[in-house]
Structure 1
Amino acid sequence: MPDLRPPPPTGADDAETITRSLREPELFAGLYDRHAADIHRYTARRLGEGAADDITAETFLIAFRTRARYDTSHRLARPWLYGIAANLIGRHRRSEVRALKALARTGEDPVAASWSERSDDRIAVQAPLAGALAALSPGDRHVLLLVAWADLGYQEVADALGIPLGTVRSRLNRARRKVREALSTDPAFPSAQQELNPTWTK
């Protein structure tokens, strides 16, 4: 059956798409098409594929229901969407920490394959990193992973989480220091340094 939805406005940015969707709700699909894959990928890296499906769907459902309150001075909706996803992920923090600790302890976890394109030969890197991430507070972990895995800038993280820019910087500095300290005590750290995204420790 052909897709009968009207195409998104040519050249429309996210804010315009959201604004127009208040009159024509079907246009909101354009926002989903632009950002759903990134939200799903980020969530899968944190909680696994199964949870990512549900959280991605709920993220856009919440976004659709609350779109009238969107601040249209932000032309790009990525931080807003990541913020919604982060809140939903936060509800699963016990499951996330449990998975991280399992990976750190055994080197095996069902979520692990979604954390790396080469999970088999990077397990020595993943295990110590997982342990370090598990030890972070939820707030520090959110900030670090939004920078490292979602590629958000500091201001975008601040917008996503609704916190001051200074708080983002202090949380990120603290998270990096704790990760660096945790990894430095692990025998695999010298080789891990060559594989890790510099975001983790610098």
Structure 2
Amino acid sequence: MTTESREHMDDDELVARFRLDPEEFTAVYDRYFREVYLYVAGRLDVQAGEDIAAETFCLAFRDRERFDPTRGGVRPWLFGIATNLMARHRRKEARHYRALARTSADPPADSHEGRVVDTVTAQRMGPRLARALATLNRGERDVLTLSYLAELTHQEVADALGISYGTVGSRLNRARKKIHQSMAKEDNRG
């Protein structure tokens, strides 16, 4: 099958094809690698993005027979794999946020935190935002970043993390409240 004809296929047809012919899995890679890579690189760093995105597709290829389209689409399935692979980086990520919060140094410009700080607010917001993000638990951080960084819908986030749609909404609400409360405390102190 040509690359052009694969581009016009919906995910259900892609799944049916790659189950019959493993060579067809390349269409899944071609369609979603960049999105998964950008999500992981945005959460971690460029090198980790490359490594985890590649590992995501290796695992997806290995487990392609177990993919269950009734639990969601290919895209959320891939993002769920990537999110699970990032779990081993969680402690490092949390320590990084806490370290940023303890210093007044700006985060590196090419990091996710650097881009968020540059985009969201003025220069002095960096340590405040880092402290606010450090208040989130793993589940809240996952939902927040999948929603805003990867731009997944609530249902896609639910599928990716293997949680209910309602849990996505409640975690997102809690994350927003915690960030707002943390920022408000800092405003009242300042």
Common topology (TM > 0.5): yes
What are the superposed Cα offsets for residues 119-163 of structure 1, whole Å, 9 maximum, x if unpaired?
Answer: 498543333222211221111111111111111111111111111
What is the aligned partner in structure 2 of residue 26 from structure 1?
23
Aligned-pair CA distance for 1:75:
7.4
Where does residue 83 of structure 1 map in the other structure?
Answer: 80
User: Structure 1 CA distance, aligned partners of 2:186 and 2:23?
Assistant: 52
* Aligned AA (2:85): L
CA 1:184 to 1:88, structure 2 compared with 1: closer, same or farther past 3 Å? same
Is 1:57 the counterpart of 2:50? The answer is no
Partner of 1:12: 9
1:88-107 aligned within 5 A: 88-104=85-101, 105-107=103-105
**Structure 2 stretches lacking a partner, 5+ long:** none
TM score, norm. by length of structure 2: 0.84
Does the CA contact (< 8 Å) of 2:117 and 2:129 recur in 1? no
| Alpha-carbon distance in structure 1 between the residues aligned to 2:151 and 2:161 | 14
Q: Does the 8 Å contact 2:71/2:159 carry over to 1?
A: no
The alpha-carbon deviation at position 71 of structure 1 amounts to 2.3
**SS of the residue aligned with 1:9?**
helix
What SS does structure 2 have at the residue aligned with 1:163?
Answer: coil
What is the aligned counterpart of 2:32 among 20, 24, 35?
35
Identity among equivalent pairs (%): 45
Distance 2:35 2:7 in 1: 22
CA distance in 2, matches of 1:81, 1:34: 11
Cα RMSD for the two superposed structures: 2.4
Deviation per CA, 1:105-125: give whole Å up to 9, x if none: 343445x52321884985433
User: In 1, are the aligned partners of 2:106 and 2:126 still within 8 Å (CA)?
Assistant: no
Partner in structure 2 of residue 194 of structure 1: none
TM-score for the superposition, normalised by structure 1: 0.79
Partner of 2:170: 170
Q: Which runs of 4 or more aligned residues in structure 1 lie more than 6 Å from their structure 2 counterparts after TM superposition?
A: none
CA drift at 1:175: 0.9
Residue pairs, 1:113-132, within 5 angstroms: 113-115=110-112, 116=115, 119=118, 122-132=122-132
1:185 Cα deviation after fit: 2.8
CA contact (8 A) 1:136 1:178 kept: yes
* Structure 1 stretches lacking a partner, 5+ long: 188-202
Change (3 A) 1:74 1:94: closer
